[in-house]
Amino acid sequence: MPVLAPSNGRRQRREGKRAAALKFMDKVEPLVAELIQCADTTLALRNDTDVAEAMLRFLRQRVAGVPPPPAQSPPRHAVAAPPSKNVKRELKPLLCDMCKRACAARPTDVDAFFVAYLERRPAFIQRTSRDASRRDLLSEWWAPPDRWRLVWADEFDYVGAPDATKWEYQTTCNAWVHDEEHLELQHYTERNAVVEDGCLKITARLEEEEGCAYTSSRLRTQYKGDWLYGRIEVCAKLPPHHRGLWPAIWLLPTDDAYGHWPSSGEVDVMEHVGWKEKGTVHAGVHTRTSNHRDKTHRTSSTVVDDAHDAFHVYSLVWRVDGMDVFVDGDLVHRVLRSEEEDWPFDKRFYLLLNVAVGGKWAGKHGVDPEAFPATMEVAYVRVYRERCS
């Protein structure tokens, strides 16, 4: 069968997109050249404690309109150490990815876009650190591709509504509570979640709808992405610290194989309630024998100092024999099957992302009216399957 040539209209649209991309790259290339020079200077000065952070400082100064400091000349005896060479090798894919995402998003402020990009990649920053103690924060599960295989992801490198092939707005749960601990105050809508500036933004607002004083969004991957074992990573920045807010990253069972909640399980990878100490995040699981309804719930909490100002990676490593929850590779919670009376975590679970308002727990001390609008930003979601050893 002969191959049909593209129509004039299709050809013109394709050429138009290519011309626009080239025009945009003409604007970006000088900035990339300055970033490379910044990185080279940092490496030459043998100050590679964080090349990515040096680039981040440089970009923040540009955004703030602060002139760059006079260029320093490296000492004549300075020779790049092996760690610097490793960092330099990593810069190329990093810069290529930055440019690719910028071309897809076409931000009006490229400097601010690159700042956001670097802020939400703590794993890269830690990996390029000369400080061994910081590198060691990355657990063994932060492993190379020969150990983990990417099976599902959303990088949010598009603009508009969340990808409908991966996410569903859950608006049917507004009147649903499974016990008196909830009684949340928000009405979930579709308009409160949008993808822009290279990330998913879920925003709670102070506005009345359907008898509720607040609106927000709750997204789930049920029937579009569910998993049994693996590694689930969500890179997120929490909303500002205010009473009454309840952002969460969590999992529920695809099928209630063992009965209604909590018998079939729940996994809380990250929860934050605004009346607690700033940056406090909680992790834990719910089962028939361990849940907050019966006051038998066991959780762990840790303080992430800049959780409301910077992106951090919240991850779950789930195996047959147990679950580990990490923040930026640092283990914060562990549940072992051998130590649990009840274990419903041998079935498929799906992911949920939401920002709730109020409820008996989060609203224990009321809701701060100054909190709104309150946005949780998500840079990416990645799910890995462990390769057979």
DSSP one-letter string for 273-328: -TTSSTTEEEEEEE-SSS-TTTT---EEEEE-TTTTTS-EEEEEEEETTEEEEEET
Q: Output the CA–CA distances (angstroms, integers) from residue 204 to 171, 223, 372, in the order listed.
A: 14, 25, 7
For 156-165, how does the pLDDT look when each residue is reduced to its tens digit (9 = 90+)? Answer: 989 999 999 9
Q: What percent of the chain shows pLDDT beyond 70?
A: 72
Q: What CA–CA distance (Å, rounded) separates 187 from 357?
A: 9
Tokens of 316: 């779950």
- Mapped onto helix, strand or coil, the DSSP state of residue 35 is helix
Output the pLDDT for position 1.
46
Quick check: helix, strand or coil at residue 184?
strand
3-class state of residue 18 by DSSP: helix
Residue among 190, 266, 339, 340 flagged as catalytic: 266
Residue 70 has a CB neighbour count (10 Å cut-off) of 6
> What whole-number distance in Å separates Cα of residue 85 and Cα of residue 83?
5
Q: Where does the chain hold its CATH 2.60.120.200 domain(s)?
A: 148-386
Note if 140 is an active site residue: no
Dist. CA 241–CA 279, nearest whole Å? 8
pLDDT given for residue 174 in this prediction: 61
188, pLDDT greater than 90: yes
Q: Is 386 a catalytic residue?
A: no
168's enclosing H/E stretch is strand 168-169
Hey, is 220 helix, strand or coil?
Answer: strand
Contacts of 299 (CB under 8 A, 6+ apart): 268, 282, 283, 284, 333
Could you tell me which residue, 117 or 86, shows the higher pLDDT?
117
Q: Is the pLDDT of residue 58 over 90?
A: no
Return the CATH architecture of domain 148-386: Sandwich (2.60)
Top-ranked range on mean pLDDT: pick from 103-112, 132-141, 273-282: 273-282
pLDDT in tens, 322-370: 999 999 878 899 999 988 889 999 999 999 999 999 887 776 778 899 9
What is the pLDDT at residue 135? 31
- pTM listed for this prediction: 0.66
Q: Which of 119, 168, 271, 377 is catalytic?
A: 271
**CA–CA dist 355, 363 (Å, integer):** 13
